[in-house]
Structure 1
Amino acid sequence: MSETNQVVVITGAGSGIGRASSLKFAANGDKVVLVDFNLQTGEETLKLVKEQGGEGIFVQANVANSEDVQNYVNKAVETYGRIDVFFNNAGVLQKMSMLADIEETELDRILSVNVKGVFLGMKYVLKVMEQQGNGVIINTASTAGIRSEHSLAVYSASKHAVVGLTKSAALEYVKKGIRVNAICPGGVDTTLTQAVPVMMQTSGYIPEELPNMRLGRFAQPEELAEVVTFLASPKNSYMTGSIVAVDGGLTL
């Protein structure tokens, strides 16, 4: 394995794509700063990183809280002196419901994490990267960010917002040595998505394409981690503002 020796901050590192990517970065020789709201799962990821010989720290944070975000950014810089890569990954899934039946509290919950959390992470990490004169940001959007999703109006809106933030930041910081891209997963086997079939049954809607996943299966988090680490690699020097669908052909 090639050792890139980057400092990588990962939000939502306690499970799913975040955990798989944390382990992949660490295996590549990168130092990882693991961020998650869940103390137990975040520390579990750090334990796994260290068991495979990796180096990192864990910082508990609510990504929608400005003080918490500034704290994990500051901890990364205090510990390792810089931030080379930011995997802005933390997110939550909406309870499936028709738009008119969505409660305002659900709207606030989704937008707080999926939009405000992504915005705050970029806001404070970009300041560090701008001072360095380089850096890479990868945001986690969704296939719901590039098309509509039935019974997920607020979630879809939040992920469209992530796409918009990604493109805007890529444009604004392209001359400052900072690349910003986004991944759009679709059908990944994670704790977050394992609840989806039950929610579909409750809502009474099952997408017509779901039984016919074009690759015949959901993705494993490790497959997304391969894409994330590629986007973060110094060898991938000419991509910015790209919205990368990693969905097994779901959106074709």
Structure 2
Amino acid sequence: MSGLSGQAIVITGGETGIGRAVVLQLAAEGAHVLIGGILADEADATRRAAEGLPGSVVFQKADVRETAQVDSLVDTAVEKHGRIDGLVCNAGIFDGFASGIDTSDRLWDQIMDVNARGTFFACRAALRHMVPAGRGKIVNVASIGGLVGMADGASYTASKHAVIGLTRHLGCSYAKYGIAVNAVCPGAIETPIRSNSIKILGEDAPPMGGVGADPDWLKRAVPQQRKGTPDEIANMILFLLSDKATYMAGQSFVVDGGWTAK
């Protein structure tokens, strides 16, 4: 992928799933990747998987719900490399398809804090360095749940709509500074988001069943009749980080096997 070798990229939630795929692809391209997250064991496995690749992978514990930790994460990349070329906001947790009535106050707050506030905190931290530099790429991982009303639960849907709205605003506001802010909207992807969400939410975690537990739902919902892979989402993210995506701002790119095209 053109132009990524030697670039300094920060990714939140890069420990597993889509995030891990992005980290490994970036490292294969020769980028220097700083993972920010709270799953230390999973991050270590990702770092070890990247050993021998041209780029470098480092982990720093950072809870995206904490402004100071997010600021420190971005500052670390700038201190080490003199700049931040790209940011991928991938940290996210799932609500188990909880309906409006079944969404507790705590579940709502936790989902919004990680998915929406955390994305904003990271974008703001990166923009503080990118604006003076006059360049940078930000990719927010949203969801088709940010585009339609019935793909996920109430809090997750609201949080991902917020991410898309934030992407549009930042993409339009900072394009004149040479900064591209865009989003990717995955559909049904084979990741450990449910188990990770249970770890992070603890006693606030709802049951993680719902539509995804029905083995026939893919045939009804997704024209390709399969879940996507993390690498298929990572492919789009790397494209948006690359110098091939030079005239895109504030857009949300869907990768969902045709789900929302029906």
Same fold by TM-score greater than 0.5:
yes
- Count of aligned positions: 250
- CA distance, structure 2, for counterparts of residue 20 and residue 150 of structure 1: 23
Of 220, 228, 236, the residue aligned with 1:219 is 228
Q: Is 1:199 matched with 2:209?
A: yes
- CA distance, structure 2, for counterparts of residue 87 and residue 151 of structure 1: 22
Q: Is 1:109 matched with 2:110?
A: yes
- CA distance, structure 2, for counterparts of residue 50 and residue 24 of structure 1: 12
Structure 1 match to 2:174: 173
Counterpart of 1:200, as a letter, is: G
TM-score scaled to structure 1, two decimals? 0.92
Question: Secondary structure of 2:158's match?
Answer: helix
Question: Secondary structure of 1:136's match?
Answer: strand
Of 224, 243, 248, the residue aligned with 2:252 is 243
Alignment of 1:62-81 (within 5 A): 62-81=63-82
The alignment's C-alpha RMSD in Å is 2.3
Alignment of 1:127-142 (within 5 A): 127-142=128-143
TM-score scaled to structure 2, two decimals? 0.89
- CA distance, structure 1, for counterparts of residue 170 and residue 49 of structure 2: 33
Structure 2 match to 1:88: 89
Relative to structure 1, the CA distance from residue 38 to residue 5 in structure 2 (aligned partners, 3 Å threshold; closer, same or farther) is same
Question: Secondary structure of 2:243's match?
Answer: coil
Structure 1 match to 2:162: 161
- Report how far residue 36 of structure 1 moved: 1.3
- Alpha-carbon contact 1:99-1:151 (below 8 Å) kept: no
Structure 2 stretches lacking a partner, 5+ long: 198-206
Structure 1 match to 2:186: 185
- CA distance, structure 2, for counterparts of residue 154 and residue 31 of structure 1: 34
Percent of pairs identical after alignment? Answer: 36
- Report how far residue 206 of structure 1 moved: 5.9
Relative to structure 1, the CA distance from residue 144 to residue 52 in structure 2 (aligned partners, 3 Å threshold; closer, same or farther) is same
